[in-house]
Chains A and B, each alone.
Chain A
Amino acid sequence: MTPNWSLLAPHRPVDSGGDQYVPPPSNIGEAVARWVLASGAPVLLGGPTGVGKSTELAQVAALLRRDRAVCLIQLDRFENMRRLDPERMLSRVAQFVGQPRVGAGQGVSVSDVAKGVAALGSALTLVSGLGSVAATLASLDTELPPADAALSSIRTLARLSERRVTLLIDGLEKVPEAAQTRALFDALSPLAEEADVVVVAPWNLAFGAAANEPLLRQGERFFFVRAPEMEPFETAPGVPFLLRLMQRRLTIADMNETPQDFYKVSRDAAYWSGGLPRVFLQLLADAATYALMNNGGEWPEKSNLNDAITDHQEGMRRGLLPGDLSLIRAADGTQGFELPIDAKVRLLAHGLLLERQTPRGVVLQPHPLLRPLLSEG
């Protein structure tokens, strides 16, 4: 059996409810879903790039589907998040959740929408769900301000579905400026009165000084999606998690079906990924391409992984600004209090520094792919 390596699709999060989902050791999706059901208070989800935030958000959507009218709004699939303003964001929310004036005599009845919602199930995604609802409601027009339109649409959906609405908003981590972030979160605040709100938090909130500052209202909860632990390597929970992730994507039922060397290559890739699923999948995908290209091989070998590692190390270097290596060296093994906050946010967001749980608390460690650079002096 030769895998279709393109199925690794490192840039693609697992679809909500998809059978490719593998729970991470932290089981964070389940923890978030439990929190939402128990408290209804807003949730912020933060973590480095490629750690699986979008996948976990999609999993939360799947877990809440039975109890909530879930709207997974992947804003970044449609917007340049760096230019997103509150009105635009609220318009998207309103558009997704369903437009107002339902049943206002514009050709679409409440029952039409109810039927549409039922046909979609209670979990909607902007990609699949909005298409149907929006198509149904395409002839509707709204002159309401976006904030009112969003509020009204949430109430409409809650009424039609007879369930509380949960908004899961993805993509806000790509909003770079604190002022822009603040404006967006302020705009979401009224919605949190009507619906559960779970958002992927911007870097400056996930890692910065304001990481635990209330944003929407008191009682909110911040969940940090941390790269799974990779040490001690032989027993670290991150290794089997990543291997299962790879197996699921490639539809490999049993690693015994694969060449023995591939198991070793996969474990090495897991080590070099630092536990970040995207990096792990990228390393394997690149190694597989090198195997095909250089050896005509169907399975990547150690030398192919080495080439992929070299590519990634060069790519990692692009995330460094002058002086970063010194900062990373100084921060290694510390809690990072001495790091300038801007640098800390940036290095953690890039995954160049990783937070690790140790017996003496959470400490920072350089990403394994950076180690050769750090040892260059």
Chain B
Amino acid sequence: MIWHDLVDQHDALRERGYSEVAKELRKRIGTLAARQHCAPMFQGRLSDKTEDKRSRRTEVLIKGSQSPIGDPIPLQNLPSVEHPKLWIYALLDDREKRLLKYTVRLDGRWAADQAPFTISVELDDRLMGSGACGHPILHCHMGVDHDRRPQFRLPLPALTPWEALDWLITQLDERHEPAPWPAPGASPS
């Protein structure tokens, strides 16, 4: 059954440690910086190994300068949106090399009509809702804002946090496309 298959795929997605998650996300942020989409310093703020040895959990985030919670990355040069802010969080059990939860989220306003929007990809840390169809473990929310957004959860294939980031940015700027279509006449790979 597709929903159970999806659960298995999402569960397999969890088999990765801090090092891989942090490095891959940093590389993506570095690429965003190289393309003038954010300040380069954010590559150095995602983050050291914030590990609570008692709970055995490790957090990945853009380290907050003034608070215990993470800071957003203000994005630039995305013509379709204004004041976009990107949040990245992940929680891992690094000893078991297990990705427990992640969120890649972008808030902003459409340049065309100033309407607010939020879009976020979330891997849940636990089973929620009534089942795998109604509340897929890895899903996307899109809506007006975090309170008024439609409570729909769009199921997603097993995307890593950095693949989710690729997807999210590419929705806003196709120059970011990590998997371009083959040129006309070329055979698809």
Contact = CB atoms under 8 A, between A and B. Distances in A.
A, B co-complexed:
yes
B85 to A, nearest CB: 13
Interface in A293-325: 293-296
Contacts of B39: 296
A7 interface: no
A295 B41 contact: no
Nearest to B40: A292
Chain B, interface size: which category?
Answer: under 10
A295 B45 CA distance: 11
Given A293-B41, A295-B65, A296-B39, 6 more contacts: A292-B41, A293-B44, A293-B45, A294-B65, A296-B41, A296-B65
Contacts of A292: 41
A311 to B, nearest CB: 14
Nearest to A294: B65
Interface of A: 292-296
Interface string B5-44: 0000000000000000000000000000000000101001
Of all A-B residue pairs in the complex, the 6 with the closest CB atoms, nearest first, are: A293-B41, A294-B65, A292-B41, A293-B44, A295-B65, A293-B45
A294 B44 CA distance: 10
B76 to A, nearest CB: 13
Contacts of B44: 293
Contacts of B41: 292-293, 296
A287 to B, nearest CB: 14
9 contacts: A292-B41, A293-B41, A293-B44, A293-B45, A294-B65, A295-B65, A296-B39, A296-B41, A296-B65
Interface of B: 39, 41, 44-45, 65
Contacts of A295: 65
> Interface centre among A292, A294, A295, by most B CB within 10 Å?
A294
Contacts of A294: 65
A294 B63 CA distance: 9
Nearest to A293: B41
Contacts of B65: 294-296
Contacts of B45: 293
A2 to B, nearest CB: 13
A151 B44 CA distance: 54
A294 B45 CA distance: 8
A292 B43 CA distance: 12
B38 to A, nearest CB: 11
A169 to B, nearest CB: 40
A293 B64 CA distance: 11
Nearest to B41: A293
B45 to A, nearest CB: 6
A295 B65 CA distance: 7
> Interface centre among B39, B44, B45, B65, by most A CB within 10 Å?
B65
B73 to A, nearest CB: 11
Nearest to A289: B41
Nearest to A303: B65
A293 B45 CA distance: 7
A294 B65 CA distance: 5
A301 to B, nearest CB: 12
B110 to A, nearest CB: 25
A367 to B, nearest CB: 28
A296 B45 CA distance: 11
Contacts of A293: 41, 44-45
A293 B41 CA distance: 6
A292 B33 CA distance: 15
A292 B45 CA distance: 11
B71 to A, nearest CB: 9
A296 B44 CA distance: 12
A344 B128 CA distance: 68
Nearest to B45: A293
Nearest to B39: A296
A295 to B, nearest CB: 6
A296 B41 CA distance: 9
A93 B104 CA distance: 61
A4 to B, nearest CB: 15
A292 B44 CA distance: 11
Nearest to A297: B65
A286 B112 CA distance: 42
Contacts of A296: 39, 41, 65
A305 to B, nearest CB: 16
B30 to A, nearest CB: 14
A205 to B, nearest CB: 42
A293 B65 CA distance: 9
A294 B39 CA distance: 12
A285 B149 CA distance: 45
B89 to A, nearest CB: 19
A295 B64 CA distance: 10
A293 B42 CA distance: 7
Nearest to B74: A296
A181 B41 CA distance: 45
A293 B39 CA distance: 9
A212 to B, nearest CB: 49
Nearest to A292: B41
